[in-house]
Structure 1
Amino acid sequence: MKRRTAREKALQALFQMDMNEMEPAEALENVLEETESDDYLESLVVGVYEHKEEIDTMIQNHLERWKIDRLARVDRNILRVALYELLYKKDEVPHNAVLNEAVEISKRFGDEKSSSFVNGVLSKLVDTLHSRD
């Protein structure tokens, strides 16, 4: 499975988990249907699930005049996947690739403002992460 597909499936699984309070395994099973699973997809979904509190806190700290629970579920979960990759997959995926993928996925799954919103928040997060390194 291509990484873009894994990210899109991860977004769909996390969206379901947000909506229905389900566990990662069930959400993955739903989005995969008859397709074989993928290690990268599983690592994204399980990783976001396990680090959700930390990820959400970091996202919240980079929002202006918004609360994370008020964000559109699609945007919130795109940000979660991207930030998970920036924090925990940084040796595997360059920052600019994570940003580009998140923006492209937001164009496909979000509304007309999603891509600029996702890009703005992630750019701030990347700046913060670079200043910590």
Structure 2
Amino acid sequence: MNRRRGRENAFQVLFSLDYEEYDANLAIENILDNETDEFVTTLISGVIREQVAIDRKIEEHLENWSLNRLANVEKTLLRIATFEIFYELETPKGVAINEAIEIAHIYGDEKSGQFINGVLAKMNK
């Protein structure tokens, strides 16, 4: 599985966890059809483990918004990208930002990519 598809899988799991109190491991198994993918597992478990710190960092870079007002697509993609930028040192920052924007074009609305780009650009300074 390539990393783009891995990010999309992580997005789907984390997005669903935001709505329901699913077991993360069960959600990973369901989305991956019992395959194991270290990258996907790292993204999901890392975002879950560091969510409080990640959310705090996102909140610090939102202007006229609060995290609880964000659509779940944007919130989930910001969490994944923030984890990749600050915790997953193998991913270049520009790649993490670009991937979040590209996935936002698939799952979000026409403004999702711009919004995510703006927040992550502030965060990256």
Correspondences of 1:101-120 after superposition (within 5 Å):
101-120=99-118
Separation in structure 2 between the aligned mates of residue 65 and residue 26 of structure 1, nearest angstrom: 36
Separation in structure 2 between the aligned mates of residue 105 and residue 13 of structure 1, nearest angstrom: 14
Query: How much does 1:35 deviate?
Result: 5.5
Separation in structure 2 between the aligned mates of residue 45 and residue 104 of structure 1, nearest angstrom: 19
Residue of structure 2 equivalent to 1:88: 87
The amino acid that maps onto 2:98 is N
Separation in structure 2 between the aligned mates of residue 59 and residue 23 of structure 1, nearest angstrom: 24
Separation in structure 1 between the aligned mates of residue 86 and residue 50 of structure 2, nearest angstrom: 10
Residue of structure 2 equivalent to 1:49: 48
What CA deviation, in whole Å up to 9, does each residue of 1:45-85 have, x standing for no partner?
00000000000000011001111011010110000000000
What CA deviation, in whole Å up to 9, does each residue of 1:68-106 have, x standing for no partner?
01101011000000000001112x111111111111010
The amino acid that maps onto 1:23 is D
> If the length of structure 2 is used for normalisation, what is the TM-score?
0.96
What is the number of equivalent residue pairs in this alignment? 125
| Alignment check: 8 A CA contact 2:61 2:122 kept | yes
Query: How much does 1:29 deviate?
Result: 1.9
Residue of structure 1 equivalent to 2:23: 23
Separation in structure 2 between the aligned mates of residue 81 and residue 25 of structure 1, nearest angstrom: 17
The amino acid that maps onto 1:56 is D
The amino acid that maps onto 2:65 is W
Q: For 1:112, what is the secondary structure of its paired residue?
A: coil
Query: How much does 1:27 deviate?
Result: 1.7
Separation in structure 1 between the aligned mates of residue 79 and residue 99 of structure 2, nearest angstrom: 13
Query: How much does 1:23 deviate?
Result: 2.5
Could you list the runs of 4 or more consecutive aligned residues of structure 1 that deviate by over 2 angstroms after TM superposition? none
Residue of structure 2 equivalent to 1:130: none
For the pair 1:77 / 2:60, whether they are aligned, the reply is no
